[in-house]
Copies of this chain bind each other. A is one copy, B any other.
Amino acid sequence: MNKTNPKNCLPENYRSACPIANVLDIVGDKWTLLVVRDLMMGKHRYGEFQTSPEAIPTNILAERLKRLEAAGLVKKDFYQDNPPRAEYFLTSKGADLGPILQAMGQWGAQYIPGIVIPEQFGPAEIRD
């Protein structure tokens, strides 16, 4: 271990101590926040996410749901065993991403021509 490397003072594999950088390491890609958006709009099942107009590839959807669950943003609740079928819900940690989505929605509404403001997020059901 190199004592002169300041990253040794950080939790492992943090890029930096900056909150923004760390948030981006969780949701900084083109798909993750769209899944969160769908969860906020009341979607809960795999097939429902696939009906969104962006048409997320199925392998990426599966992987993102796993990552969101691993990060504690999403809870996977099985409602039957055979075949295993589950519903996905935001935890309070995940639901607290709401302000980020809202800020994005506002910016997009202001600056991107031709967009359609979606029906407001309902009060997303939370399961911790």
- Chain copies in complex: 2
Question: Could you say which residues of chain B place their CB within 8 Å of the CB of A30?
Answer: 24-25, 28-29
| Contact indicator A100/B103 (Cβ below 8 Å) | yes
0/1 string, A46-71, CB within 8 A of B gives 1: 00000011110000000000000000
**Best-buried of A19, A30, A100 by chain B (most CB within 10 Å):** A19
Question: Could you say which residues of chain B place their CB within 8 Å of the CB of A52?
Answer: 16
| Contact indicator B53/A17 (Cβ below 8 Å) | yes
**Best-buried of A14, A20, A52, A101 by chain B (most CB within 10 Å):** A20
| Contact indicator A10/B103 (Cβ below 8 Å) | no
Size category of the A interface is 35 or more
Known contacts being A96-B110, A99-B107, A111-B93, is A54 close to B17, with CB within 8 Å? no
Q: Mind listing 25 A-B residue pairs with CB under 8 Å?
A: A7-B53, A11-B113, A14-B114, A15-B53, A16-B54, A17-B115, A18-B108, A18-B115, A18-B116, A18-B118, A19-B104, A19-B109, A19-B112, A19-B117, A20-B101, A20-B104, A23-B108, A24-B33, A25-B30, A28-B30, A29-B30, A99-B103, A99-B107, A100-B107, A103-B103
